[in-house]
Structure 1
Amino acid sequence: MEQKDYYSILGLENNATQKEIRDAYRRLALLHHPDRNRDNPEAADRMKEINESYAVLSEPRKRSEYDALRQTYGSSAYGQFRQTHSDQDIFRGSDIQQIFEEFSRAFGFRGFDDIFRESYGAGYRTFEFRKPGVFGRVIVGGVGNRQGAGGITYPGGYLEKLIRYGLKKKWGIELPERGKDLQDSIVLSPEQARLGGRVRYSSQRTGRELVVTIPANMRTGQQLRLKRMGEAGRAGGEAGDLYLNIRIRNLLIQKVKDFIATLWSFMKPG
């Protein structure tokens, strides 16, 4: 397994205080936040390393375990630690969400859920539920397995469906479920593809009509992502996204079609 060191990633000595760990994380997370590095594909991987390092070193028990492995295995401590700790183990109980939400309010960045879903998988999402006598927080998808109420971790698939059924049957709790992403195409003229602008789109599947802003210099095969324009979610879950595949109308074919239409209009009786 790749050799890493959580202290080095945060630029810290192994005797760093909790305040120094938190300050280092805030500085690096702001510097490498995906919303500030949209043109840097390496920033997302760097952000994941920073998140993981902070989640381990900011929690005394996990930090103590990691320190013990460093003393025993030296530069191989990271690999030893990851053999016994899933992503879910590492992030459970961390205050990373609070820090990301602070960035969101202060700088207008996307929030915690959007960033983690992008970094750790499209199925990632969190939500809380409250009912008389029961409270829980559930993490579904993305980061390792699923975590249920009381800190229990569950795998996905059929067991997740069973958990959903049990919560609804016993307490009447229906967990939010994100809507499916949809795929469609939008046909542009060569001029629209070159200059960009606002183009009307009509979905044959849903009947929905939208005005889509097209960036300049689009090419056939590229995609536009329209957030929350996919299939509706369930039980308060967010809608999926709509992905529009760009197709550019062949200019010669269009001229032939226009000529035939004009010719036909002259040949029509009356």
Structure 2
Amino acid sequence: MEYKDYYKVLGVDSKATEDEIKRRYRKLALDHHPDRNPGDKAAEEKFKEINEAYQVLSDAEKRKRYDQLGKSYSSWQQRGGTPGGFNWEDWFVQNPRGGNVRVEVGDFGDLFGDTGIGDFSDFFRSIFGGMAASRQPGSASTRSARQPQAFQQEVPISFLEAYQGTTRRIEIDGHQKEVIIPPGARTGTKVRVSEAISTAANRPKSDLYLVIQVADDPKFKRKKNNLYTDVEVDLYTAVLGGEIKVPTLSGNVVLSIPSGSQPGQTFRLSGRGMPQLKNPKKSGDLYVKVNIRIPRNLSSKEKELFSELNQLKE
């Protein structure tokens, strides 16, 4: 199937908005509609081409794939959107086990034939954007003969998964393998899956590195293995002292607030931070900053009592 520049077909820029594409399509479709051009084969073909372009560019997912694949889009489309029987949409899908991600790795040898590692790398990068091949030292011919390339792909995990540790399931040649992401992982942590990708027949399999991306958490900030959070304390507890519940990643704990605590005062909960990546039995600390909540809409009695307190300090 010949490659068609759908942007050129519609006469729009590659960064055109959805509305711009729609307006341009309506105008061209009206100009080349067969009812307006009876017996005009050229207009009929143009009308079909315009509709074909609009069907792709008006669909956000199809347009994204078209932009990613470029001239490879036609062959990808000709194979039903799943070249070589590999379903790209299955690369990351939801797993029933608590939101785990299932990584599907198909038979890349069948997909790319004997195109070679370099071609596979370019195509893979076009699919995933940020995916890059880690090239081995030496010339291309020496590298392909002795050592396969390594590929990497970002894998998002939640903040809680980074604390607890989690798994990702990978299917290779019909066999499932569970990859362990250890507690304490941070953004940039790499987990190696050895010999995961077949790039071509009679070539060594390549390693896949899962590059962890940890999502932010609305309650906690992380600095190395220490965590930081804010809690609200009512005025009476801050003045008189008392106990409050503080959320941690392993559940609530009780924190004793001494009398006379000040706004912004910070308390340390030892061992309540992130586990150390290489020694998960040890953890960082959790630092809790106190924000004093000043009461509003005081009753007459409360105002009277505060006035008495104010007089006492004088």
TM-score by length of 1: 0.26
| Larger helix fraction of residues | 1
| Larger strand fraction of residues | 2
TM-score by length of 2: 0.23
Q: Which has the larger radius of gyration?
A: 2
